[in-house]
Every structure is written in C-alpha cells, then in structure tokens.
Amino acid sequence: MTKTIKKPLVSLIIIFVLSVVVDQATKQWAYQTLLDDRFHEQADNFPVCSNEAVDQSRSRFIHRHQKNITVIDGSFDFRYVENCASAFGMMSKVPESFRFPFFLVISILAAAFIPYLYKRTPANQTFMLYALPFVLGGAVGNLIDRLVYRFVIDFIDWYILFDGLNRHWPTFNIADVAIVIGIGLMILQMLPMHKNTPSSDMEDNKTS
C-alpha cells in the first residue's frame, strides 16, 4: 500500500509570512536608518517615478542624503535606493507610464497564480513546494512597495574593486533574495534525481 504524503501547508504559510514581514521590516529600517534627517524633511519636494528627468533629480537628492553602512569593507554596504524598475534594476529605461502598470499586473498575476500552482504540485515534489512561498513572499513584498510608494526600496549593495573602479551588482532587497531562493529550489526540483516516478505521481496530494 502506498504511503500517503501530505503537503506541509503550515510550514509553507510560515515561510510566506516571514518572507513578507522580514522584507517590509528591513525596508523600513533602511528608510529610517540609511537617510539623514534633511531627506525626510525635504522628500516631498522631489517627485518619484515620473519620467527620466524627475527620476534623476530624485536620485541625486537621495545620493546627497545617504548614510551608507559598510558591512564588509570593499564589497558589501547597506545603501538606500529607490527602484522604479524591476528586480535588479531591469527595464529602468522603459517609460513609467508603461512600467508601473506592467509590473503591477505581473505582480498581481504571480500572486494569484502561485497558490494555484501549489494546488497542482504533487506532494512529493518537496523542493517545488518550498520554492512557492519564497517566490510568493518576494512578489508580495515588492508589490506592497509599488502600491504604497510606486517604487521598490532596495538597500543591499554588493560590489568589487576591478580595474581601479568599484563594480556594483544592482542593489537589491530581501524580497529579491526570497525570489532567488525560490527559483533555486525550483531548479533543484527539475534535476533528474528529483523527478517523479510513475508510482509517486499517484500519491495523495492532501494538505495538512
């Protein structure tokens, strides 16, 4: 008789909630800690995510009032950045009139599709099941930013000294980390040793 395998629903919900809570808490920490008092006094005078000229003006304003924290000298800082584009700054040159509704729709669709994908995923696909709450948590975390601010707060800055210059990886946040972890788990699930056998496809898909 085939042993019943149940999905770890409670654990997955905990991962999702923690991903969102930690992401939002660290972004608020970055906003309060990595900018000086004059930024908070004058921020309303500098619009966000409108057009390239406005974005550049806001970026220069932020740069003047940043209070970066060095975590590892020469490679890792905490640095406040407002990202009107997607993860890691992609699509930064696309007009805001297209970019904002596009990312909003994509984020909402992802948040709606992942629970459906969870229901369709066999209970024995452990890596895939644990990947989904990380991806969902990251998507929701950045969606909250877009709904509240129209931009995403990034603050993790990795860089290396190369050819006399600091070469920076695009600044990112905990939501991005959660999404990358989820994608990594999905890739692990697709490796040959983790693919389903015919018998395992018949196992119970019930949740607990």
Q: Which residues are catalytic?
A: 154, 176
Backbone angles phi, psi at 204, to 5 degrees: -65, 140
C-alpha span between 118 and 194 (Å, rounded): 17
**Whole-Å CA distances, 98 to 84, 102, 143:** 12, 6, 16
* Structure-block tokens of residue 130: 């644990």
Q: Given 3-state DSSP classes, what are the helix, strand and coil percentages for the chain, each rounded to the nearest 5?
A: 60, 15, 25
Q: Is 142 helix (H, G, I), strand (E, B) or coil?
A: helix
Q: 25 phi and psi, to 5 degrees?
A: -65, -40
Strands ordered across the beta sheet of 165-168: 69-72, 76-83, 152-162, 165-168
